[in-house]
């Protein structure tokens, strides 16, 4: 089946620092999504990307759909304590179910 490699697995950063995480796939996707999961809750959609090369922002979050269609990146600028959580990338090709990465656990030190 399709595999998504998400890195890093975890990050400890100081408040105010920028964060970068990425996801690579063994196959081509036509949609990339980024989700955030708060403790005890289900994942919530942050950003959706539909086109190779696309760069999309949502507040302090910016995500890019890689040109090869096999990768995506998420950046968080000027991190704050409420950014703590698990970030998941997800991808799909056609109408197949979403495939999720294993997540990046972000901890922010005030």
Among 6, 25, 64, 79, binds another protein (CB under 8 A): 6
Q: Is 1 in the site for another protein (CB under 8 A)?
A: yes
Distance between CA atoms of 26 and 30, rounded to whole angstroms?
13
**Does 28 help bind another protein (rule: CB under 8 A)?**
no
Please report how close the Cβ of residue 22 comes to another protein at its closest, in angstroms: 15
- Are the beta carbons of 2 and 25 closer than 8 angstroms? yes
CA 61 to CA 18: how far, in whole Å? 10
Binding region for another protein (CB under 8 A): 1, 4, 6, 9, 31, 33, 40-45, 48, 50, 88, 95, 97-103
């Amino acid at each position: 089946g399709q595999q998504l490699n998400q890195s890093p697995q975890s990050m400890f950063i100081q408040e105010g620092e920028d964060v970068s995480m990425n996801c690579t796939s063994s196959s081509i996707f036509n949609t990339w999504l980024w989700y955030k999961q708060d403790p005890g809750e289900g994942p919530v959609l942050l950003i959706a990307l539909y086109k190779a090369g696309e760069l999309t922002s949502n507040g302090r979050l910016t995500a890019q759909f890689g040109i090869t269609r096999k990768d995506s990146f998420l950046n968080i600028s000027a991190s704050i304590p409420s950014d703590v959580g698990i970030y998941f990338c997800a991808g799909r090709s056609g109408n197949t179910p979403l495939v999720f990465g294993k997540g990046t656990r972000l901890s922010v030190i005030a």
